[in-house]
């Protein structure tokens, strides 16, 4: 195993890049496993194991270089890595804690088991399961036999009605792998297109707002949380985040309690983010992300410790303390690619827009340095520090600042794959 203040991360995208920035700041070594020599985290990493993120031999090499390994995203090959853990490689969160979190179906099962509020759901494959037909009496001669249930199309389980939200259990992100079902026709079209064993279907929740909280648990069992924030999506991709979400103490506590219960029950060490729907039924958990999260990026400038600092501390085996906001609030706006531009297009780095954004007061620009751009792809973000103390005035300030950013950086027209 490597030096004490050294951590490894599997993945080299923007989350690893921001983790690498925090590591430099804190004097922690960060070793990265990522396939591309030009991936965002590469220039900042202490060392790079250049290999696919699912290459177990490469992860063994990564483990040799650091105290413990964390993951940039939830697409972790748990079975592939189990032998490495048995050899003594330290994964934080550990593979056992990650197991229920790496796919949407096992997340739903976990939330049901813990009786935490989440959308009602069923496995897509269940629509084929029809009750045994009643034994029928012989058809009198000259009459047509009745249609048997097996001849009919798929059937929703009891208690479910359209619209519904179908989701790929794994591999989806930013709304890719989610499909709204409005009718039997949509359901049948989905069944033709996908392997029903890899999908779940859930009630379409009518919510007022989406909220999120980033929590961290250290190896001593202490849990801390960033403030609860409001997230806003555009075509299912996070568009902006307003921090803090000004709400009752009870609601803040409810969100924090859910985070603490989950982290503690799973004996989870590291950062975990929870996305909520918020509406007449209160908080409903939409998704758990076993990692740092887009909804916590604002913490880099707005808090005394960012979500990346918290991840580093947890993975380096150090204690965490409650992060504090350093200013009244912050607005994070994602810079989603709004045009198709190839990596060799001289305009693919959006220099003009970046300069204009960087010139705005109290704006911090983070540019991930990805090669090429496509509509909807996350290319960077800005964090705007907000000055108003009164929550209503602050929200107004945030919406005015959003408008300013939008004039420089428009939203993509079409939702497209990244
Ligand atoms: P992904 O993992 O691809 O980001 P999510 O499950 O977070 O997918 O869904 C993306 C967005 O789709 C959510 O932020 C929300 O706006 C919407 N959404 C997801 N599930 C539901 C649901 N059950 N009911 C209503 N809207 C939903």
Q: Which fold has domain 209-408?
A: D-amino Acid Aminotransferase; Chain A, domain 1 (3.30.470)
For 19-23, 202-206, 340-344, which range has the lowest pLDDT when averaged over its residues? 340-344
Which residue puts its alpha carbon closest to atom 14 of ligand 1?
236
Work out the percent of the chain whose per-residue pLDDT is above 90. Answer: 82
Q: Which atom of ligand 1 is least distant from the CA of 167?
A: 6
Greater confidence, 249 or 137? 249
Domain 6-91 listed as CATH 3.40.50.20: yes
The pTM of this model reads 0.92
Greater confidence, 122 or 374? 122
Contacts 24+ apart (CB under 8 A), 146-153: 153/184, 153/187, 153/188
Return the pLDDT at 132: 59
Pocket of ligand 1, beta carbon within 6 A: 119, 165, 167, 172-178, 202, 204-205, 210, 233, 236, 275, 286-287
Q: Quote the CA–CA distance of 349 and 232 in Å, as a whole number.
A: 25
Which residue puts its alpha carbon closest to atom 13 of ligand 1?
236
200-221 mean pLDDT = 98
Q: Which fold has domain 120-130+151-204?
A: Dna Ligase; domain 1 (3.30.1490)
Return the pLDDT at 1: 44
Q: How far is CA 18 from CA 210, 308, 337, 365, 369, in A?
A: 24, 7, 19, 12, 12
Choosing from 104, 236, 240, 241 the residue with most ligand 1 atoms within 8 A of its CB, the one to mutate for a pocket test is 236
Q: Quote the CA–CA distance of 30 and 19 in Å, as a whole number.
A: 8
Stretch(es) of the chain classified as CATH 3.40.50.20 = 6-91
pLDDT at 146 exceeding the cut of 60: no
Return the pLDDT at 176: 82
Q: How far is CA 263 from CA 67, 97, 268, in A?
A: 21, 9, 5
Q: How is residue 90 written in tokens?
A: 């330290």
Stretch(es) of the chain classified as CATH 3.30.470.20 = 209-408
- Ligand 1 centre to CA of 236 (Å) is 6
Return the pLDDT at 128: 77
Which residue puts its alpha carbon closest to atom 16 of ligand 1?
236
């Amino acid at each position: 195993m490597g030096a004490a203040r050294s951590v490894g991360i599997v993945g080299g995208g923007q989350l690893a890049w921001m983790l690498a920035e925090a590591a430099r700041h804190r004097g922690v070594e960060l070793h990265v496993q990522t396939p591309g020599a030009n991936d965002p985290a590469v220039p900042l990493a202490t060392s790079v194991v250049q290999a696919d993120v699912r290459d177990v031999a490469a992860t063994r090499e990564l483990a040799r270089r650091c105290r413990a390994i964390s993951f940039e995203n939830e697409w972790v090959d748990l079975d592939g890595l189990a032998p490495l853990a048995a050899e003594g490689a330290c994964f934080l969160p550990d593979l056992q804690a990650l197991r229920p979190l790496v796919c949407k179906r096992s997340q739903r099962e976990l939330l049901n088991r813990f009786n935490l509020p989440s959308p009602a759901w069923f496995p897509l494959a269940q629509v084929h399961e029809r009750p045994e037909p009643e034994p029928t009496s012989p058809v009198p001669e000259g009459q047509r036999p009745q249609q048997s249930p097996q001849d009919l199309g798929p059937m929703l389980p009891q208690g479910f009605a359209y619209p519904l939200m179908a989701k790929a259990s794994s591999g989806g992100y930013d709304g890719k792998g989610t499909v709204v079902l409005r009718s039997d026709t949509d359901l049948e079209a989905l069944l033709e297109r996908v392997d029903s064993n890899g999908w779940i279907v859930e009630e379409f929740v009518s919510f007022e707002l989406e909220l999120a909280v980033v929590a961290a648990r250290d190896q001593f069992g202490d849990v801390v949380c960033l403030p609860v924030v409001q997230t806003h999506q555009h075509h299912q991709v996070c568009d902006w985040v307003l921090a803090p979400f000004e709400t009752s103490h009870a609601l803040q506590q409810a969100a924090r309690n859910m985070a603490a219960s989950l982290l503690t029950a799973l004996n989870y060490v590291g950062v975990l983010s929870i996305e909520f729907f918020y509406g007449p039924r209160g908080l409903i958990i939409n998704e758990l992300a076993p990692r740092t999260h887009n909804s916590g990026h604002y913490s880099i400038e707005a808090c005394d410790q960012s979500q990346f600092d918290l991840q580093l501390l947890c993975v380096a085996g150090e204690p965490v303390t409650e992060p504090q906001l350093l200013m009244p609030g912050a607005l994070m706006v994602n810079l989603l690619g709004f045009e198709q531009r190839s990596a060799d297009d001289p305009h693919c780095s959006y220099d003009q827009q970046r300069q204009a954004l960087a010139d705005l007061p109290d704006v911090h620009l983070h540019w991930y340095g990805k090669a090429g751009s496509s509509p909807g792809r996350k290319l960077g973000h800005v964090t705007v520090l907000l000055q108003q103390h009164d929550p209503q005035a602050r929200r107004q300030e945030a919406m005015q600042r959003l408008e300013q950013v939008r004039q420089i950086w428009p939203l993509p027209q079409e939702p497209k794959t990244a």
